């Protein structure tokens, strides 16, 4: 598991995971993101580097298609 050890902190590095099977392409997550970090294309959702892992999109998704995981 990768860790971020800047400043001596031991913090897990989180990555966004989107399920292409669950996602209905409703766009709710895109509209909810305060950082404009989500892009909805025809197949998968993409997240850019502006994402601060606030978790808002994960909570708002009606399909449970988004989650955050520790980067392995």
First to last CA, the chain: 4
Of 3, 15, 46, 63, the residue at the interface with ligand SF4 (CB under 6 A) is 63
Of 2, 11, 39, 55, the residue at the interface with ligand SF4 (CB under 6 A) is 55
Q: How far apart are the C-alpha atoms of 29 and 16, rounded to whole Å?
A: 12
Q: How far apart are the C-alpha atoms of 54 and 14, rounded to whole Å?
A: 11
Query: What is the smallest separation between the CB atom of 8 and ligand SF4, expressed in angstroms?
Result: 25
- Please count the residues of this chain forming the interface with ligand SF4, following the rule CB under 6 A: 27
Q: Does 67 bind ligand SF4 (CB under 6 A)?
A: no
Each residue 12-41 as x (binds ligand SF4 by CB under 6 A) or -, in order, gives ------x----xxxxxxx--xx-x-xx-x-
Who's near 60: CB < 8 A, 6+ residues apart? Answer: 28, 29, 32
């Amino acid at each position: 598991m990768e860790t971020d050890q800047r400043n001596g902190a031991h913090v897990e590095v989180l990555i966004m995971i989107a399920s292409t099977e669950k996602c209905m392409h409703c766009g709710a997550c895109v509209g909810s993101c305060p950082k404009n970090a989500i892009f909805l294309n025809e197949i998968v959702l993409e997240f850019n580097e502006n994402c601060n892992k606030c978790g808002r999109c994960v909570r708002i998704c009606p399909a449970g298609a988004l989650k955050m995981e520790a980067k392995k």
